[in-house]
Amino acid sequence: MLKSKNQFFVKEILNWFFVAKRDLPWRRTNDPYHIWVSEIMLQQTQVDRVQNFYYDRFLEKFPTVQSLAEASWEEIMEVWRGLGYYRR
């Protein structure tokens, strides 16, 4: 009985998602680095803020994890500033 209730719930949630989901850039990639960047940004700020400005700008400046690793703290903060993390 519990299994069928869980299956029903999963089916309903997935049906809702396929109807209501938003087209977000990190859903159009399989690149783990790009997905990771979006996850970090989305932890404490709004989706619209990340989607409309910070995500693309950050990935233009640091397109790979290697480019991020080689950047200075100041370079990273210049692009990151405005998300609110540096104040929290």
pLDDT digits (tens, 9 = 90+) for 54-78: 999 999 999 999 999 999 999 999 9
Which residues touch 80 (CB under 8 Å, ≥6 apart)?
54, 58, 86
Q: Are 47 and 24 within 8 A, CB to CB? A: yes
| Residue that is written with structure tokens 């998602």 in the block | 17
Rounded CA gap, 61 and 55, in Å? 10
pLDDT at 36 exceeding the cut of 90:
yes
Q: What is the mean pLDDT of the chain?
A: 90
Question: To the nearest whole percent, how much of the chain has pLDDT over 90?
Answer: 73
Establish whether 39 is a catalytic residue. Answer: yes
Q: Which of 39, 70, 74, 75 is catalytic?
A: 39
pTM comes to 0.76
